[in-house]
Every structure is written in structure tokens, then in C-alpha cells.
Amino acid sequence: MSEVIWGLATSHVPSIGAAMDRGMTAEPVWAPLFEGYRPAREWLAERTPDVAILVYNDHANGVDLDIVPTFAIGTAERYQVADEGFGRRPVPDVVGDPDFSFHLLHQLMDDGFDLTVFSELDVDHGFTVPLSVWTPEPRDAWPCPVVPIMVNVIRYPQPTAARCYALGQALGRAIAGYGGARTVGILGTGGMSHQLAGQRAGFINPSFDHMFLEAIEKDPEKLAALSREDYIRQAGSEGIELIMWLVMRGAMNAEVRKVHSAYHVPASNTAAGLALFENTTTRPAR
């Protein structure tokens, strides 16, 4: 029986990756953000899983906007870092785990989730920045193979928060059903509150963000009950990315232990949050 050992929720703001790539993490405007990451990174460095699952959204770099799947999974042996118009980030390509991916795909399909399947996929900052938050100096390779799960948060109608939480619960069951004793880390990415265009461009809602950081640990059902309109109204048009955190949380046990959390508004129009959880009890039957 395999198990999730930790869950990491983190923003995937592209400028965070750029600050790391350009050696700007100690500059005054960035230092508080990266200092907030330090305890989580130290804890994670001692708990490398056998495989990780990363829940993210593409930004029209790996997938054409003409076809946007609601949910998708990658089954490739390797995922190339996308060139988003200013050159590839100087980070390693991502090694996949096809056998584990196919197991998850099979189980999720049987559990009622019809995923689009990518046998080839380039991954953009939505994927690589969270990996850098986890592992700032990967050198030639990330700590373990990674399975991408993609969620549509850019084209209306996005999946509901409740559906994302249910996907996470199904994902947890699928992980538990994988043969052997593999350990799994799962990352939920995106958010926190932000809006990049329109009359509310630059909108950030710290009150909602802090409520979310508390509820994602103690009361995820409260967050799953919010409508997509609730998320857009309270967290901005791009703040709906937070529904991807619920996939991560749903895959974990009902009770978790918060290892560390952090919140900062860096040099961008995006509130950046981080929450790291450890599973603490046996998964209940669902």
C-alpha cells in the first residue's frame, strides 16, 4: 500500500522563478518571501518521496487554448521545460513515472473522472516554479519523478471547488491502491488572491487568503462549498486557481499536521502563499 506523506500548497507566480534564476532572492523586495520558504524547504529536504504528483494549470504554453481539458494527466517518461517566450528556465526537465501515471489514470477513470491523457507535454512556470519552491538547487535533476495533473482554471466554466476536492479524494484512494510501499508527495499550486486584468487589476484580498490558509488545514469542506463565482469575487479572476489546492488537500487524510505556512505579497500583483502539511492518521474509508 502506497501513501501520501506530505502535501505542499504553493503559489506559482512566474516572477518567483525569475527572482531565483537571476540571483535576486536576497534583495529586500524578495527576501521576506524566500525566508518564509526556508523552514518548509528544510523539512522537505529530509523527506524525499519516491514519487510526487503536481497539480497545476498550463498557461497556453503546453496546451493550445483551442482545446482546454477540464482535468488531464501526463503519462510521459519526461516532460520538457517550456519556452514561454523568453527562453527556457535554467532548470532540469522533469522525469515522469509512466507506470504510476497509468495506475492513477485507470483508478481515476473507474472512480468517475474522465481525464485527458498527455503522452507528450511541455511544462511551464505553473509546474516548474512550485518545484523550485520545493527544491531551490536541483542541479541536474529534481528530487524524484513527478506526475503532472492539469486543471482548467483559465476558461469558464472551470470545475467547481467541490469537484476538485472530490478529485483529490479519488486520487488519495488511487494512491493507496498502488502496489508496493511507495511514498508520495503531492503539490497543489496556484493563487493566492490576484487579478491581472479588468477594472480590478491588481486586486488582492489578504483577509480571504488568511481564511483560506486556515481552512485548508482544518475545514477544507468549507472551501469546497464555495462556488466559482465566490472565488472570483473574493480572490480575483485568477484567484480561482486556489481550487487546485483542494485537489492536494482531498488526497490527504481528514486530519493533517501543519508543518509550516507563509504569506507575502512579492514584487507582483499576486499574493503568494505556502502551506505544508504532514499526514498524521490512517486514511478513513470513504
Nearest Cα to Cα of residue 49 among 280, 286, 278, 282? 278
Are 270 and 202 in contact by the 8 Å Cβ rule? The answer is no
Return the residue matching grid coordinates 487524510.
Answer: 253
User: Looking at residue 9, what DSSP letter applies?
Assistant: E
User: Looking at residue 32, what DSSP letter applies?
Assistant: H
Catalytic pick from 194, 210, 260, 264? Answer: 194
Q: Is the peptide bond before 32 cis (omega within 30 degrees of 0)?
A: no
CA atoms of 225 and 26, how far apart (whole Å): 39
Are 131 and 91 in contact by the 8 Å Cβ rule? The answer is yes
State the average pLDDT over residues 70-90. Answer: 95
Give the model's pLDDT for residue 284: 42
pLDDT digits (tens, 9 = 90+) for 260-276: 999 999 767 889 999 99
Catalytic pick from 12, 103, 125, 260? Answer: 125
pLDDT digits (tens, 9 = 90+) for 145-188: 999 999 999 999 999 999 999 999 999 999 999 988 799 999 99
CA atoms of 87 and 97, how far apart (whole Å): 26
pLDDT digits (tens, 9 = 90+) for 183-237: 999 999 999 999 999 999 999 999 999 999 999 999 999 999 999 999 999 999 9
Is 194 noted as a catalytic residue in this protein? yes
CA atoms of 149 and 54, how far apart (whole Å): 6
Give the model's pLDDT for residue 281: 65
Are 135 and 92 in contact by the 8 Å Cβ rule? The answer is no
Q: Where are the domains of the chain?
A: 3-279
Instruction: Report the mean per-residue pLDDT for the chain.
Output: 95
Amino acid at 75: T
Give the model's pLDDT for residue 213: 98
Give the model's pLDDT for residue 198: 92
Give the model's pLDDT for residue 267: 66
CATH for 3-279 (3.10.20.90, 1.10.3720.10, 3.40.830.10, 3.40.50.300): 3.40.830.10
Is 125 noted as a catalytic residue in this protein? yes
